[in-house]
Copies of this chain bind each other. A is one copy, B any other.
Amino acid sequence: MSTDREQAAFEAGIKLGALYHQWVGTPISVQTASGVEAVIEQSVGLQPFVEEIDVTLDRSLMNANAFGYAELSGLMFDVTIRTKVGATTCVAALRPENGYPLMRIVSCDEEEPLSDH
């Protein structure tokens, strides 16, 4: 059996794993970065259980190669995603930690029931 908490965490993991491998390798530059951020947010936002997603790409890593552009790499991602299953909200992140593009759970919380007075 699994609970809402585990399912919310599972869904957050799916989305982060998917977006990483979908977009790594895309040609990118400082000029096109904001468009790519918006499209990643919109695309992931179409998927079930996603409440909110925020994508920021590290422009300081977009060093142009000999041909004038960079490729989106794992360490450029700073992503926060919030999924919801039942009453549980899970917040997870993808961002560099010690030189590795780490995915981790930030929090899993049940909604506070409304107070009755």
Contacts and interface: CB of A to CB of B under 8 A. Distances in A.
Interface of A: 1-3, 5-22, 24-29, 31-32, 35-36, 38-39, 42-44, 46-48, 65-69, 71, 74, 90, 92, 98-100, 103-105, 107-108
Given A21-B25, A47-B69, 11 more contacts: A10-B13, A12-B13, A13-B13, A14-B103, A17-B17, A18-B18, A18-B21, A22-B26, A27-B46, A32-B46, A35-B39
- Please give the count of copies of this chain that the complex contains: 4
Given A5-B5, A17-B15, A21-B22, A27 B47 contact: yes
A43 B32 contact: yes
Contacts of A5: 3, 5-6
A53 to B, nearest CB: 12
Nearest to A72: B43
Nearest to A26: B43
Contacts of A11: 13
A103 to B, nearest CB: 6
6 contacts: A10-B13, A13-B14, A25-B25, A27-B47, A28-B46, A47-B69
